[in-house]
Structure 1
Amino acid sequence: MTTQTETPKRSTFTFERTYPATLAEVWELWTTKDGFESWWGPEGFSVKVHELDARPGGLLRYDMIATAPEQVAFMKRAGMPTSTPSSLTFTEVTPQRRIAYRHAVDFIPGVAPYNVSTEVDLQVQGDSVRMTVTADALHSGEWTQRASAGWESQLRKLDKRFQR
């Protein structure tokens, strides 16, 4: 008798956006220091990139910095620092088409560090680019909701870059 064990599929959440931009413009925002710093992080936060090596196995190391007074206050109430070093490891980089990475979740008080995966797919649609972001859920419903709200917030920053 043979027993098969199935690996449970992780829960994910997805965001889709269409930008009046070229593929090169959207790609640059994901793969360059200036591009990444211009939009990454929820509103009220900024990032400072220390390393960005956009290739499979390459790293993106950055600091996530609370800048808005309400975000600084929230971080302090939650017992979290206002500046947090973060890193992700690229697992797939197909130029101007797809980026996948593992992101270290090592900033939550009382929770052992773990990784979540994210996939970003880009597709030309006429004179626009369709971007689909699929991210793993976090360890709890509350933190998954926070991560989802963070993505919505940072995508609003990206949306503003492409308003014409």
Structure 2
Amino acid sequence: MNEIIERNVSASPQRVWELWTTPAGISRWWAPDGFRTDVTALDLRPGGALKYTMTAVAPEQVAFMEQNGMPLATASRKRFTEIEEPTRLGYSSLIDFVPGHDEYEQLTEIELQPAVDGGTRIVMKVESLHDDVWTQRLLAGRANELDNLAALVAAE
């Protein structure tokens, strides 16, 4: 099952693409509130990988991670499935951080469309995770990331 998250942001599709596909751009907005993202590798091509470390830095997130037996820093990787600059991006995320659950892949597809107001309409199709609780956590995190992206481009 797939979920859809949509946002309008006040930047061109090309600018949004740059923020979504470069280490410097990703590190500025990618993490949900209370986390930091550090990109360690980026090979932007179908089959290429994005590798990064996401670290809980705010007290509330640190407490959540500790209470759920999760490490404060998690190395993550995504495999690009589709790249069409500056309109489409797809990637498969390795879900290997859920305690007591075998690892698996989860697909996210992004469309960047010019908006009527000169900005960009982002449509993110997110494949559900293994249960509703983790799917809702994923969706909340992705929605927060898009809010962070919107705030970043609005401030530029």
| TM class by smaller structure | over 0.9
Q: Residue 145 in 1 paired to residue 145 in 2?
A: no
Query: Relative to total residues, which structure has the larger helix share, 1 or 2?
Result: 2
Q: Match of 1:29, SS?
A: helix
- Measure how far apart 1:162 and its partner are: 2.4
Mapped contact 2:39–2:51 kept (Cα < 8 A): yes
Larger radius of gyration between Structure 1 and Structure 2:
1
Q: Residue 159 in 1 paired to residue 136 in 2?
A: no
Unaligned runs of 5+ in 2: none
Q: Tell which deviates more after alignment, 132-141 or 148-157.
A: 148-157
Q: Which amino acid aligns with 1:47?
A: T
Q: Which amino acid aligns with 1:137?
A: S
Kindly report the root-mean-square deviation, in angstroms, between the aligned alpha carbons of the 2 structures: 0.9
Counterpart residue number, 2:121: 130
Q: Match of 1:38, SS?
A: helix
In the TM superposition, structure 1's runs of 4+ consecutive aligned residues that sit over 4 Å from their partners are none
Counterpart residue number, 1:15: 5
- Paired residues, what number? 154
In 2: Cα distance, 1:85 partner to 1:68 partner: 18
Q: Which amino acid aligns with 1:102?
A: S
**TM-score scaled by length of structure 1:** 0.91
Unaligned runs of 5+ in 1: 1-10
Per-residue CA deviation, residues 74-94 of structure 1 (Å, 9 max, x unaligned), is: 100000000000000001100
What percent identity do the matched residue pairs reach? 42
Q: Residue 49 in 1 paired to residue 48 in 2?
A: no
**TM-score scaled by length of structure 2:** 0.95
